[in-house]
Amino acid sequence: GAGVSQSPSNKVTEKGKDVELRCDPISGHTALYWYRQSLGQGLEFLIYFQGNSAPDKSGLPSDRFSAERTGGSVSTLTIQRTQQEDSAVYLCASSPTPLGQGPGELFFGEGSRLTVL
């Protein structure tokens, strides 16, 4: 595809339900990032994948959050037992730079807006 694709673009769910957010990075990009952006706030780092290496999960806010990246491409961010404070835009970004050659430009998706009622 031409860019990073995220789905759904909007998701409204009830408190306590589980949600899955999908990110399809640019083909060939080895690095994939998830960020959370609450209304009017900054880019909060959640998790980072680089190739087949173990992901950096240091930004996940609680054990209700998990993410996986299958086959080094598509990634899914899962939030279990959603809470109202999980409401935010979840942004995915990918980068073409292989590990050891430094961070390249991050290409962001449009984001998935999650609203927990």
Partner 1 sequence: GENVEQHPSTLSVQEGDSAVIKCTYSDSASNYFPWYKQELGKRPQLIIDIRSNVGEKKDQRIAVTLNKTAKHFSLHITETQPEDSAVYFCAATVYNNNDMRFGAGTRLTVKP
Residues that bind partner 1 (CB under 8 A): 31, 33, 35, 41-43, 45, 48, 50, 56, 58, 91, 95, 97, 99-103, 105-106, 108-111
**What minimum distance in Å lies between the beta carbon of 67 and partner 1?**
15
State the DSSP string of 46-66. Answer: EEEEETTSPPB-TT--STTEE
With respect to partner 1, which residue has the nearer C-beta, 56 or 80?
A: 56
Q: Tokens 């190739």 identify what position?
A: 51
C-alpha to C-alpha distance for 69 and 73, rounded to whole angstroms: 6
We find the least distance from the C-beta atom of residue 102 to partner 1, in angstroms, to be: 4
Least distance (Å) from partner 1 to the CB of residue 66? 19
Smallest gap from Cβ 47 to partner 1, in A, equals 11
Residue 82 and residue 21 in contact, taking contact as beta carbons nearer than 8 Å: no
Closer to partner 1 by CB, 26 or 82: give it: 26
**In 14-99, at which residue ranges do the beta strands (DSSP E only) sit?**
19-24, 31-37, 44-50, 65-69, 75-79, 88-95
Closer of 1 and 100 to partner 1 (Cβ): 100
